[in-house]
Structure 1
Amino acid sequence: MLQCTDVERERRNGVKRWRLATFNLESLDDRLPGADDFADRVAVLRPQLQRLRADILCLQEINAHTTEGKHGPRSPTGLDRLLDGTPYAGYHRVVSLNRGGQRPADRHNLVILSRFPIIAHGQVWHDLVPPPTILPVTADPPFVQAQAVEWDRPLLHADIDLGHGRVLHVINVHLRAPRAAWLPGQKTENGRWRSVAGWAEGFYLAAVKRAGQALEGRLLVEHIFDAKAEAWVAVCGDFNSDDREAPIRTLRGDEEDTGNGHLAPRVLVPLERGIPESQRFSVVHHGQRVMLDHILVSRPLLGCLTACAVHNEALGDELVSPAAIWGSPDSFHAPLVAEFA
């Protein structure tokens, strides 16, 4: 691990080469039922993290636990155990907070780790986009007034000092999965939907959440560009969509969609486009290879790109493998890493 003097020297002189990665660790938790098997997760996941050799690492689905009674502070103990003995243990760290902004949530937190100084950070959760109000039509009993539809998680962002006045703006995202949202009276005790209509409305509500998160992410990017048009911006994480679907299109802001060539400098570019199509997948879903994890970067940052890779050689099928393997320690997302110079 680099000594503080080495990091400070790089910061002053300007970083010559650095690596940015994203990885959904899928409910990383050392206190779930069967926690005795957490050592298996460490044995599988730690080499994957070490292989990334990331200087900046965005993680999703990090669980946390109270350390001082029911209402005390929460700590990501599983992550601490996973990183122990690796260079990442000494990195600067930012963790997302619950809706009240007081402490991490119990499930599915976002984490940014950085070898370089973090000079500012925060989260966005309905700060730029208010919750839309929708009157569900299949709820039982029915609602008498429209309900606020809030996102499940915030967006986590950090400004990282790379030296020579170069600041990297990193946004870590985990968009809502395309699974139907819960509706009162529409699911049985064993989790089955009572009607196709109820499932369809739940699926619609999930799409609203995911689209709203993407819009809030794009507005955050716009604020960064408003402050500095040539900003180095990277939006990383589990988008639960490929680059042709609405959430990624919302975040990209392609000139083909805006119809305005003057807005082209504000486009975000998916880095996996440089990976051969046969290798371009981060999830296997019932035999279908899909790219759901992405790193989107601004044009100035794209000019510094030297390589991009997705580590999917050992990736299992997220539907088939859990049914065939009891207590699989793997993540069913592959990490994505990019190198810049």
Structure 2
Amino acid sequence: MPVLTTWNLENLYQPGGEFGPKTKSVYDEKLDYVAARIETIGPDVLAVQEIGDPEALDELTGRLPGTWHTVLSEHPDARGIRVGFLSRGSIATTTHVTTLPEPLRPVQSGDGPDDAAEALGRGALHVRTAVDGRDLDLVTCHLKSKLLTYPGGRFNPKDEDERARFGAYALYRRTAEAAAIRVHVNALLAEEGRSVAVLGDLNDTQLAATTQLMYGPTGSQLGTAGFDRPDKGDRSRLWNVAAKIPEEQRFSRIHEGDRELIDHILLSHALVEGLESAESFTDDIQGIGNNPSARRSESVPDHAPVTVRIG
């Protein structure tokens, strides 16, 4: 039974520096908390986001029982955070997904004439590994945040016109990044029966257009009348496990009081047929606002881990 988890670990940096915890005690508390939660969940493969220092991931892995194989994206964002995988089994192949697919043109990312994004802000990562003799193609990504930043590193706009423009730029970028992941997955699904999963922080809910773009052919999602009706789209479709998560757990972040499911697992037909359960471990997460630096002394990540168990 493969067990797959995705978890945004919220600025996993060593203490000190601009983004890491201010003290070693907070850092150690965070590593201990995350390691204990991973041990409780028991994933075979864990997709992670917001890894700032590779050494911090090494220290986390050192707190876990057993042998783990790790791989990180070589394409962090300007802040230094990146995605990665921890796997109990060896990782056979690794592919870095970084560029927007042709003929998609660069998307506007700011007010300046040269502000255009030609690549993912944070590179995605595709690995092939095996669980119980079953080959799995797993892709993790961290799409453009809904948190808006403005010139000079501001979190607040000068006026509402600027807020509207930069909200549009963020949406352009998240949409283009979702398309890049979907195009990469299309090539994987071209081989019938391949076991593919996309795991990560999509920075929007399961009903958002950017998230649904990644599903492929419409219809047949979990919780709809069409799910049990095979059709020609099944071969190239991805299913979001959100509807399988118990309703009281169906969120992975609390932003300004709103419960949002923005961390997702999408499964190909070969995997969704065996889906037994999906969970979001929300017991300990706290509400957040729009100032990420306010949480530097917190030892519990602001996102909940989302997990699927597949028979």
Do the structures match in fold with TM over 0.5?
yes
Judged with a 3 Å threshold, the aligned counterparts in structure 2 of structure 1 residues 199 and 107 are, in CA distance, closer, same or farther, namely same
- Other-structure match for 2:127: 158
> How do 1:1-341 residues align onto structure 2 when only pairs under 5 Å count?
17-33=1-17, 34-36=22-24, 37-64=26-53, 76-87=54-65, 90-98=67-75, 107-126=80-99, 128-129=101-102, 132-133=105-106, 139=111, 143=113, 147-148=116-117, 150-162=119-131, 164=133, 166-183=134-151, 191-226=155-190, 228-256=191-219, 261-319=231-289, 327-341=297-311
Residue 108 of structure 1: CA displacement?
1.2
Over the residues paired in the alignment, what is the CA RMSD in angstroms?
2.9
Q: Which residue type is aligned with residue 311 of structure 1?
A: F
Evaluate the alpha carbon distance shift between residue 255 and residue 127 of structure 1 in structure 2; reply closer, same or farther with a 3 A threshold: closer
- Cα distance in 2 between the residues matched to 1:221 and 1:322: 32
Unaligned runs of at least 5 residues, structure 1: 1-16, 65-75
Q: Is the 8 A contact 1:308 1:339 kept in 2?
A: yes
Displacement of 1:207 after TM fit?
0.7
Q: TM-score, normalised by structure 1?
A: 0.78
Q: Is the 8 A contact 1:224 1:231 kept in 2?
A: yes
Does the C-alpha gap of structure 1 residues 233 and 134 become closer, same or farther in structure 2, counting only changes over 3 Å? Answer: closer
Pair 49,199 (structure 1): closer, same or farther in 2 beyond 3 Å: same
- Give the letter aligned to residue 30 of structure 2: R
Secondary structure, aligned partner of 2:129: strand
- Deviation larger for 150-159 or 20-29: 150-159
Which structure 2 residue ranges, 5 or more long, are not aligned? 221-229
- Aligned AA (1:109): R
* Kept after mapping to 1: 8 A contact 2:199/2:265: yes
Could you tell which deviates more after superposition, 170-179 or 315-324?
Answer: 315-324
**How many residues align structurally?**
297
TM-superposed CA distance for 1:153, in Å, is 0.8
Matched-pair identity in %: 24
Partner SS, residue 120 of structure 2: coil
**Larger Cα-atom Rg:** 1
TM-score (norm 2): 0.85
Q: Detail structure 1 runs of 4+ shifted over 6 Å in the superposition.
A: 320-326
Aligned-pair CA distance for 1:107 = 1.7
- SS of corresponding position for 1:242: coil
Task: Give the Cα–Cα distance (whole angstroms) in 1 for the partners of residues 8 and 107 of structure 2.
Answer: 31
For residues 175 and 295 of structure 2, what CA distance do their matches in structure 1 show?
Answer: 34
